[in-house]
């Protein structure tokens, strides 16, 4: 097939051209990592979360005491009870499916234990693949439990009332594994693809080789698909380097490694597709590089690298959910920390793929108009 043959030829041309410039070859791998280190320091000064963290509640007791506790949680300024379910299995399913970040289980006999012994417990299941949210959920549930214990004690004249919150994380994230590492892997793919745009299109225009390439028998779709193929290969190398770093830092990767490569490749392809649209209008490599840097910090904040999108203000959450990169981040976390398979992240990958398929025709049309 001619399209496949031409695309392969363009991809190998890109790799050979990059190999002739050792400095560019080194920077294409190291620049995103160095840039991330700079923004880690900057990001520490910014935090404007609005807590509305989704949780589900399973009240297996339905006593007056458990009803009061549920009422307290529904009015919490930190958590948002999205659904009341009838079984513990249903609650756990909502958390594993990503519909909620935590599940509160009120066991049968909860109210009776409070009245007879002054002691009771509830179970909190949290998705520790998320950032910050599990800690906030635990703090909110602990506060509501303490309020209930105080109310019950004064109402029935019980001197000592205590409600224990038993936390059962459903994530396999080890204490030594940094929670923001999957987000960094996504950002490496994004920044690497942006850098590939600068090398593959803008600098080629500046050297005068891009017009000659378009005048060759190879059509523009083959040119762009070849450059995407080269970016996928480079992204695989970047992903390998980051996974090695993760393992050395003590991060346990529970999921399928192939799914991680597929996810980072789709993140890079979407980024490249968007970059092709941008490069059709932005001709200077320095301008495109500055734009890349300017976009980096907002993407850190909005796509869930440092904190869950649910902790953003309402406007920030809306923007976050409109960005395909957010779904790539969530897919990486589910694979790396929860060990989930393709069925759990298929929707996230589909959003990245659709985004790429939307951007590529736009880039082709703009390129033809600006030749």
Rg, C-alpha atoms of the chain: 25
Give me the domain span that covers residue 68.
Answer: 53-169
Place of tokens 């920030």: 316
CA gap 293, 198 in Å, rounded: 12
Shared-domain flag, residues 129 and 78: yes
Burial 130-163 (b: 16+ CB within 10 A, else e): bbbbbebbbebbbebbeebbeebbeeeeeeebeb
Domain boundary residue among 142, 169, 196? 169
Shared-domain flag, residues 89 and 22: no
Total number of domains constituting the chain: 2
Shared-domain flag, residues 36 and 57: no
CA gap 349, 268 in Å, rounded: 12
**DSSP label at residue 104:** E
Shared-domain flag, residues 42 and 57: no
Shared-domain flag, residues 262 and 311: yes
Q: Are 225 and 218 in contact (CB under 8 A)?
A: no
Q: What residues contact residue 299 under an 8 Å CB cut-off, 6+ apart? A: 187, 190, 305, 323, 325
Q: How many CB atoms lie within 10 A of CB 199?
A: 22
Domain boundary residue among 125, 151, 169? 169
pLDDT tops 70 at residue 215: no
Shared-domain flag, residues 317 and 201: yes
Average pLDDT over residues 260-266: 95
CA torsion, ordered 300, 301, 303, 306, to nearest 10 deg: 80
Q: In this structure, what CATH number is given to the domain that contains residue 151?
A: 3.40.1710.10
Shared-domain flag, residues 233 and 120: no
The whole-number pLDDT of residue 371 equals 52
Shared-domain flag, residues 161 and 253: no
Burial 288-327 (b: 16+ CB within 10 A, else e): bbeebeeebeebbbbbbbbbbbbbbeeebbebbeebbbbb
* Residue 316: alpha-carbon gap to chain centroid: 15
Shared-domain flag, residues 346 and 313: yes
The whole-number pLDDT of residue 103 equals 92
Shared-domain flag, residues 181 and 136: no
Shared-domain flag, residues 148 and 214: no
CA gap 87, 103 in Å, rounded: 11
The whole-number pLDDT of residue 97 equals 76
pTM of the complete model beyond 0.75: no
Domain boundary residue among 126, 143, 169? 169
Give tens-digit pLDDT for 165-201. 888 777 655 444 456 777 888 888 888 887 777 666 6
Q: Which two tokens stand for residue 319?
A: 């923007």
Shared-domain flag, residues 147 and 211: no
CA gap 357, 351 in Å, rounded: 10
Give tens-digit pLDDT for 17-52. 666 656 556 656 666 666 665 555 444 444 444 567
The whole-number pLDDT of residue 44 equals 45
Q: How many CB atoms lie within 10 A of CB 30?
A: 11
Q: Are 239 and 264 in contact (CB under 8 A)?
A: yes
């Amino acid at each position: 097939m001619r399209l496949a043959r031409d695309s392969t030829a363009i991809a190998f041309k890109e790799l050979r051209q990059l190999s002739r410039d050792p400095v560019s070859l080194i920077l294409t791998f190291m620049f995103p990592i160095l840039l991330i280190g700079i923004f880690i320091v900057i990001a520490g000064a910014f935090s404007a979360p609005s807590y509305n963290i989704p949780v589900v509640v399973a009240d297996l007791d339905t006593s007056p005491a458990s009803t009061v506790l549920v009422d307290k949680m529904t009015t919490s300024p930190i958590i948002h009870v999205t659904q009341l379910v009838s079984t513990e299995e249903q609650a756990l399913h909502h958390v594993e499916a990503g519909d909620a970040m935590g599940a509160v289980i009120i066991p049968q006999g909860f109210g009776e234990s409070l009245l007879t012994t002054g002691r009771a417990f509830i179970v909190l299941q949290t998705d520790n693949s998320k950032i910050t949210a599990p800690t906030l959920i635990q703090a909110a549930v602990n506060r509501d439990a303490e309020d209930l214990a105080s109310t019950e004690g004064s109402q029935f004249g019980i001197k000592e009332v205590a409600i224990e919150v038993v936390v059962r994380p459903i994530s396999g994230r080890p204490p030594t594994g940094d929670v923001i590492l999957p987000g960094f892997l996504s950002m490496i793919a994004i920044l690497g693809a942006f850098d590939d745009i600068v090398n593959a299109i803008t600098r080629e225009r500046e050297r005068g080789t891009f017009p000659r390439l378009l005048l060759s028998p190879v059509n523009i779709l083959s040119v762009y698909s070849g450059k995407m193929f080269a970016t996928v290969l480079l992204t695989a190398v970047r992903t390998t380097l980051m996974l090695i770093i993760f393992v050395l830092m003590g991060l346990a990767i529970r999921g399928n490694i192939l799914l991680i490569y597929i996810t980072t490749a789709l993140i890079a392809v979407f980024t490249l597709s968007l970059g092709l649209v941008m490069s059709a209008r932005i001709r200077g490599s320095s301008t495109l590089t500055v734009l890349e840097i300017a976009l980096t910090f907002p993407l850190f904040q909005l796509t869930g690298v440092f904190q869950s999108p649910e902790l953003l203000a309402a406007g920030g959450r809306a923007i976050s959910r409109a960005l395909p990169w957010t779904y790539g981040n969530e897919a990486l976390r589910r694979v790396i920390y929860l060990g989930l398979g393709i069925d759990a992240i298929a929707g996230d990958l589909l959003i990245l793929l659709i985004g790429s398929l939307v951007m590529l025709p736009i880039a082709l049309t703009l390129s033809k108009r600006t030749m």
